[in-house]
């Protein structure tokens, strides 16, 4: 049996907060996505020296995952920089020359069509007929506004209409990073020493408000040779490998999906009811991508998107397709452009419960199903199977359990702020404020669901600690 041990030492002496002023605060960041890396970067650059980042997986980036196949880079996660004016992600990309090879098709001022050039979207029915342009124009603007993939919801019936305007769009064009969105991650991590980030280090429980005081006392007696100034921690992070890591502050950047699934076991004592209600009210669902690579294009040179329109079907009372009809939730396939960079590749989108069903299928099944669907809608029975398929699986991944958040029916922007509120709520002379802090895209009231929301939320929590310890940091500078 593996034995557990506590790293460092502590006592529950109320004077520990006074002793803490004599040393650097211990800060643990959970998650090495955009939020976690942004927080760690800001803390280290401000003079904090005791910062640790714990990442459950074997890579950094979180919901940014760029996969290189041949000469092309495909985004399984975050793809677009949404807006440029004041967007920290855009400025990182621009300042580091990541947008120099961006084509006109990878820069859009209107609704985004993934990687597409300025071509024509083909709206096709399941009977192999193309819908006339004038008919498309009548409903396209409304469709583009309410498409559920944009909200990562199973259905637009789940999205709060009253809070639909809570999300704020940053002005300016949308951009793709040709060399991969992961370059933004690498830029953020560049100034973080390798020793700070611990990969394959999943967290089991966060013990806050001195909730493991008896264990701490036992280990403190055993390690009595430690300097007195190194004792005193209000929080202990218990890892899956049984290590206990002492901390004064923990910044939690896990996804809303993980919080929904694990909040009862992840925090000891349990979270306050107000925060639990915010976690339960806010929404997160799955939006997946399916990349199909063909030997040769079967689409015309002017086509930039194949949109699927199902017709002549009896309306169903259910908002969910039967499992064997999961493919009906694929809304479109976009043509990746330019072909000199990406080859002959289509990128499909699927969201909601059907995306989770798709994730259970093997690659062969998904490739065959998508090919049959393309044959049906184009009326071309000779379309070959793709030579390669690449797809995401954010919903079934236990480290994410969803793609990005949205304001679900019954929730509001106030719930986002409650989610972001640090613990403990009430400050007292015996407890350190901001023991457990919350970051990530779901905690940003205006920019939830975006990469810039994640970056700004990490910087926000770092700024709180920088302000709290400004005297200490000034003395040591």
DSSP result, 139-198: HHHHHHHH-HHHHT-S-GGGB-STTTTSS-PPSS-EEE-TT-THHHHHHHHTTS-GGGEE
Alpha helices in 250-388 (DSSP H): 256-266, 273-281, 339-342, 352-360, 363-378
Query: In which residue are the tokens 């920290």 written?
Result: 88
**Looking at residue 328, what DSSP letter applies?**
G
Strand, coil or helix: 81: strand
CB of 435 closer than 8 Å to CB of 250: yes
CA distances from 230 to 10, 102, 210, 224 (A): 7, 51, 16, 11
Residues 11 and 30 placed together within one structural domain of the fold: yes
Q: Does residue 48 sit within a domain?
A: yes
What pLDDT score does 475 carry?
77
Last residue of a domain, one of 329, 360, 391: 391
Distance of alpha carbon 207 from its chain centroid, rounded? Answer: 25
Strand, coil or helix: 308: strand
What pLDDT score does 220 carry?
41
What pLDDT score does 431 carry?
75
Q: Does residue 99 sit within a domain?
A: no
Torsion, Cα of 381, 76, 144, 373 (10° steps): 10
How far is Cα 330 from Cα 148, in angstroms, rounded to an integer?
A: 11
Q: Does residue 292 sit within a domain?
A: yes
Residues 305 and 376 placed together within one structural domain of the fold: yes
Q: Which of 281, 275, 283 is nearest to 208 (CA)?
A: 275
Domain count within the chain: 2
What pLDDT score does 9 carry?
44
Residues 278 and 408 placed together within one structural domain of the fold: yes
> Consecutive 10-residue runs of the chain (477 residues): their mean pLDDT?
48 40 86 98 97 98 95 94 95 96 72 54 83 73 57 57 70 93 98 97 94 58 47 86 94 98 97 97 94 96 89 59 90 90 94 94 98 95 96 98 91 94 76 93 95 98 96 77
How far is Cα 403 from Cα 151, in angstroms, rounded to an integer?
A: 10
Q: Does residue 247 sit within a domain?
A: yes
Cβ count near 57 (within 10 Å)? 18
Within 8 A by CB and 6+ apart from 303, the residues are 119, 120, 121, 122, 335
Within 8 A by CB and 6+ apart from 137, the residues are none
Instruction: CATH number of the domain at 348, please.
Output: 3.90.660.10
Residues 205 and 273 placed together within one structural domain of the fold: yes
How far is Cα 333 from Cα 374, in angstroms, rounded to an integer?
A: 9
Last residue of a domain, one of 343, 360, 391: 391
Q: Does residue 123 sit within a domain?
A: yes
Phi-psi region of 46 (alpha: psi -120 to 50; beta: other; left: phi over 0): alpha
Residues 277 and 265 placed together within one structural domain of the fold: yes
What pLDDT score does 154 carry?
57
What pLDDT score does 1 carry?
41
Last residue of a domain, one of 391, 424, 459: 391
How far is Cα 102 from Cα 123, in angstroms, rounded to an integer?
A: 27
What pLDDT score does 416 carry?
96
Long-range contacts of 221-229 (CB under 8 A, 24+ apart): 223/9, 226/8, 226/9, 228/19, 229/19, 229/22, 229/23
Q: Which of 89, 43, 61, 92 is nearest to 196 (CA)?
A: 43
CB of 293 closer than 8 Å to CB of 313: no
How far is Cα 447 from Cα 83, in angstroms, rounded to an integer?
A: 11
Phi, psi torsion values for 130, nearest 5 degrees: -90, 130
Domain with 55, as residue range(s), is 5-61+184-283+401-476
**Looking at residue 423, what DSSP letter applies?**
B
How far is Cα 220 from Cα 234, in angstroms, rounded to an integer?
A: 14
Residues 195 and 258 placed together within one structural domain of the fold: yes
Q: Does residue 108 sit within a domain?
A: no
Look up the pTM and report it.
0.88
CB of 300 closer than 8 Å to CB of 310: no
CB of 199 closer than 8 Å to CB of 114: no
Residues 317 and 387 placed together within one structural domain of the fold: yes
Instruction: CATH number of the domain at 267, please.
Output: 3.50.50.60
Within 8 A by CB and 6+ apart from 66, the residues are 73, 74, 75, 76, 77, 180, 181, 182, 183
Edge-first strand order for the sheet with 27-30 is 197-198, 51-54, 27-30, 249-252, 436-438
Cβ count near 156 (within 10 Å)? 15
Residues 346 and 215 placed together within one structural domain of the fold: no
């Amino acid at each position: 049996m593996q034995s557990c041990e506590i790293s460092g030492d502590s006592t529950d002496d109320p004077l520990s907060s006074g002793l803490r002023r004599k040393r650097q605060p211990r800060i643990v960041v959970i998650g090495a996505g955009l939020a976690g890396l942004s927080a760690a970067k800001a803390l280290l650059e401000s003079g904090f020296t005791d910062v640790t980042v714990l990442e459950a997986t074997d890579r950094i980036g979180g919901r940014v995952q760029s996969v290189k196949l041949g000469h092309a880079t495909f985004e399984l996660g975050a793809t677009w920089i949404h807006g440029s004016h004041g967007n920290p992600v855009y400025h990182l990309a621009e300042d580091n020359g990541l947008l120099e090879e961006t084509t006109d098709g990878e820069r859009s001022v209107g609704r985004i069509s993934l990687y597409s050039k300025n071509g024509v979207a083909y709206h096709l029915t399941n009977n192999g007929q193309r819908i006339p342009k004038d008919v498309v124009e009548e409903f396209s603007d409304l469709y583009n506004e309410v498409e559920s993939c944009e909200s990562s919801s199973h259905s637009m019936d789940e999205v709060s209409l009253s809070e639909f305007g809570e999300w704020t769009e940053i002005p300016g064009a949308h951009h793709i990073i040709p060399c991969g969105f992961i370059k933004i991650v690498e830029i953020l991590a560049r100034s973080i020493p390798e020793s700070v980030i611990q990969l394959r280090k999943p967290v089991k429980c966060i013990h806050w408000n001195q909730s493991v005081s008896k264990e701490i006392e036992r280990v403190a007696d055993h390690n009595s040779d430690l300097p007195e100034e190194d004792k005193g921690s209000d929080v202990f992070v218990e890892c899956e490998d049984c290590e206990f890591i002492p901390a004064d502050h923990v910044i939690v950047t896990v996804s809303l999906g993980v919080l929904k699934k694990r909040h009862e076991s992840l925090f000891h004592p349990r979270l306050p009811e107000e925060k639990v209600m915010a976690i339960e009210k806010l929404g997160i669902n799955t939006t997946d991508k399916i990349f199909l690579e063909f030997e040769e294009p079967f689409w015309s040179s002017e086509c930039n998107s194949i949109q699927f329109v199902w017709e002549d079907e009896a309306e169903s009372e259910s908002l969910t397709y039967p499992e064997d009809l999961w493919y009906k939730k694929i809304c479109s396939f976009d043509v990746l452009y330019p072909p000199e960079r990406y080859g002959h590749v289509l990128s499909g989108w699927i969201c909601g419960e059907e995306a989770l069903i798709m994730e259970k299928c093997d690659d062969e099944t998904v490739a065959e199903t998508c090919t049959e669907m393309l044959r049906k809608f184009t009326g071309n029975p000779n379309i070959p199977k793709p030579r390669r398929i690449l797809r995401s699986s954010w919903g079934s991944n236990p480290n994410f359990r969803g793609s990005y958040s949205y304001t679900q029916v019954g929730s509001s922007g106030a719930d986002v702020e409650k989610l972001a509120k640090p613990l403990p709520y009430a400050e007292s002379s015996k407890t350190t404020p901001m023991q457990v802090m919350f970051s990530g895209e779901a905690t940003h009231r205006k920019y939830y669901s975006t990469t810039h929301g994640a970056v700004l939320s990490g910087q926000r929590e770092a700024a709180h600690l920088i302000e709290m310890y400004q005297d200490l940091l000034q003395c040591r500078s």
